[in-house]
A and B are shown apart, each in its own frame.
Chain A
Amino acid sequence: KQEVTQIPAALSVPEGENLVLNCSFTDSAIYNLQWFRQDPGKGLTSLLLIQSSQREQTSGRLNASLDKSSGRSTLYIAASQPGDSATYLCAVGGGADGLTFGKGTHLIIQP
């Protein structure tokens, strides 16, 4: 059974810092990996989707990498802003199947 772990569980940094969120998964037979953002009491917003054949994806200040063989992904956030404060969820997919999620990293950016 696929298991997804996210480290750290919580992170608080001053505004302007670059930061890295980590995600690991136990079964490397995945088709894709998705990073989401969730604000308190809200639904999930898709940030980046990486197909299994890809190594990284970029969107604005966000960059996500995937090392499928080692079962790891990182989400890099450049020049963090208070508006980036949220919970970040990593999820892996088996093709047409539902996603398996980690528990998330709760991020606070201090003004």
Chain B
Amino acid sequence: EAEVAQSPRYKITEKSQAVAFWCDPISGHATLYWYRQILGQGPELLVQFQDESVVDDSQLPKDRFSAERLKGVDSTLKIQPAELGDSAMYLCASSLESGTVIYNEQFFGPGTRLTVL
């Protein structure tokens, strides 16, 4: 069964260092989402891509976070510099296509657990 892949699964870093997370969506899924989930909370959307274009990055802290999906397939989320408050689970999701509601079910990867010391 097709799945969303993410790596690494766990990342420990010191504050002020740079970190990067990778996501490979389900094959053929045009829409890709990055969410952040703080312990005990629901996930919150950081950025949404339609193919290689950013559709929504209104909640992305752009002074330190960046995201790209250069070829419209896999994606990288980067944090530089990391802060203590960035400790969270970073989840990637994909859906078949946007604009067609019927296929808007989102499928999530296993996540990357980030700990900033």
Contacts and interface: CB of A to CB of B under 8 A. Distances in A.
A47 B50 CA distance: 24
Interface stretch (B11-19, B66-74, B80-88, B105-113): B105-113
Given A42-B111, A43-B110, A44-B91, A51 B48 contact: no
Contacts of B31: 96
A80 to B, nearest CB: 22
Nearest to B45: A98
A104 B110 CA distance: 18
Interface in B84-105: 91, 93, 98-99, 101-102, 104-105
Nearest to B46: A98
Nearest to A106: B40
Contacts, number: 70
A93 interface: yes
Contact of A43 (B44, B48, B109): B109
Interface residues of A, number: 27
Contacts of B108: 36, 43-46
A95 B56 CA distance: 13
29 contacts: A31-B101, A31-B104, A32-B101, A36-B108, A41-B113, A42-B110, A42-B111, A43-B108, A43-B111, A45-B108, A46-B105, A46-B106, A51-B102, A89-B42, A95-B101, A95-B104, A96-B31, A96-B50, A96-B55, A96-B99, A96-B101, A97-B48, A98-B33, A98-B48, A101-B42, A101-B43, A102-B42, A103-B41, A103-B42
